[in-house]
Each structure stands twice: as C-alpha cells, then as structure tokens.
Structure 1
Amino acid sequence: MERGNRRNALWLKQVIVLDSSLLIAFKIKNDSHHERANALMKQVVSERFGKPSITSYIFDETVTGIFVKSKSLRLAVEYGNELLASLETLEVSEEAFREAWKIFSEQRNRRLSFTDSSTLAVMKIHDIGRIATFDEDFGNIEGINAIGLV
C-alpha cells in the first residue's frame, strides 16, 4: 500500500458517520430526540468516537428533512452550509451504489431505506465501524457500532 493510501486508510478507521436522524434531531428543537442529540453531538464534536463525517446521501436526507420539518429553506440552506464547512463528505461511488442496491434488495427482517443501505455500503467499502444514529435499523448489524441507540 502506498504511503498516501495507507494514511487515508488509517484516517478512515478513525471516522464516525453521522446519520441524518442525529443531524435533524440536533437542529430541530421539537424533535423527540433533540435533547439526546445535543448530548451526543458534544461528544461527536470532541472527536471522542473519531472524525465526524457524512455521506453525500446523508447530506441530501438531512437538508431535505430540515426543509420539510421546519418549512424553512433558509434554515435548510444555512445548516447545509454548516455541514459542508465542518464535516468530511464521503461520496457514494458507483461501487457503493451497487453494493447499496444489493444490501437494500436482499435485506430480510430489516427496514433499511436505500439511503441507509448506501451508508452501510460506504462504511463497508471504507472499513468504517461507527455510526452516530437514533435509527434502530442500524442496531444489531455485524461490524457496526451504532452509537446513540438506547
């Protein structure tokens, strides 16, 4: 492995993916998980679990969720700009997209959305084992430490 690739691989092992369920709950004050989101985000910002990152699909789901829940384009755009300025965004590559489709179409006893499936695919490809989420669908997935689930 080349030095730059090794460094990139080490960086990715120290990453935690932030799910839209956390990001939306953090921003929307009347969300049922808002208080828990505030507490968890303090730990995330301190990088206790690794460098916080999102995928391009999580970004999409988050700004859309903020727009729908708040009915404010301004709030969605401001938050989107904050996320883009402060978090690493992992792109959903063609390989990840195909893997996401496989995860989504072959799932049994789960209710993963395609976006959640794409998150798992990106995590698998990049060997990322941590996600901060309130989405129960990420619970009990082998190799995934879902931080935030009660």
Structure 2
Amino acid sequence: MNSLVNIVAFGIAGAVMMAALIGLLLIASGRNAGRPVRILFGAVAVVLLLMVPSIAALNLLAADPSAGFGRALLVAFCVVAIVYATNVALIPLALRRAAAARGLDRPAPLRLTPATLLGGLIICAALGALDAGLALAANAA
C-alpha cells in the first residue's frame, strides 16, 4: 500500500509542477521570449523528471528497507508516467498559443501515434530506472 501512496502523492505533485511549468511557459511565450527562456524551461522540466520520481523511490526505500530496485523502479516509473501524461495533455495548449503568437489560425496537428506513445513509455522506463538507481545510491549513503 505504501507504494501506491507514493505513486499517487508524488505523481500528483509532479503533474501539478509540470502543469505550472507549462503555464509559465505559456505566459513567457506571450511576451516573445527568446530561445534562452525555452532552454531554461526545458532544463527545469528535466530536473523535475529526475527529482520527483527519485524522491518518491527514496521515500519508499526509507519506509521499507527491504524494498529493492524492482519496487523502486515501479514507483519511479509510475510517477514519471503520470508527469508524461500531463505533458501529453497540455502540450497542445502550448502549441496553439505558439501558433496564435505567429499569426497562424491553428497549429500543425499533434499526431499521437502508437509508436510515439510507446517511445514515450520507453523514455519513462529509462527515466524510472535512472531515478530508482539514484534513490538506491542515496539510500545506501
């Protein structure tokens, strides 16, 4: 049950942080922000995807020392997947705003193919493994 609590709590926290980050990006894009702002938001998003799932896995390992890499990976993967789903849901808003800023009627359609979603899940699994490894290393120290 502790794993589910970690997934829900940290998944919601990560999703809210990512939604806030996308909201800030929408505000900054309305001011004709340049490339450095987009790079900064991308870097913050990567830090968010590394820190929140790592903390969730570390919380699991601290509460249950017998939980191994597998359970830590599961928790981290699920948290990353929730944040990924938030991105998939909110990115069309950012695309519409960017198209409106350029004077276009509507942006190019965002095609979510099964291959795109599978690629996203593979990236979620890789980030989950990295986050679980970071949590195990931090827990061992």
Q: TM-score range by the shorter chain?
A: 0.3 to 0.5
Between Structure 1 and Structure 2, whose CA radius of gyration is higher?
A: 2
Query: Normalized against structure 2, the TM-score is what?
Result: 0.35
Answer 1 or 2: which has greater helix percent. 2
Higher RCO (CA-CA < 8 Å; seq separation 6+): 2
Query: Normalized against structure 1, the TM-score is what?
Result: 0.33
Answer 1 or 2: which has greater strand percent. 1
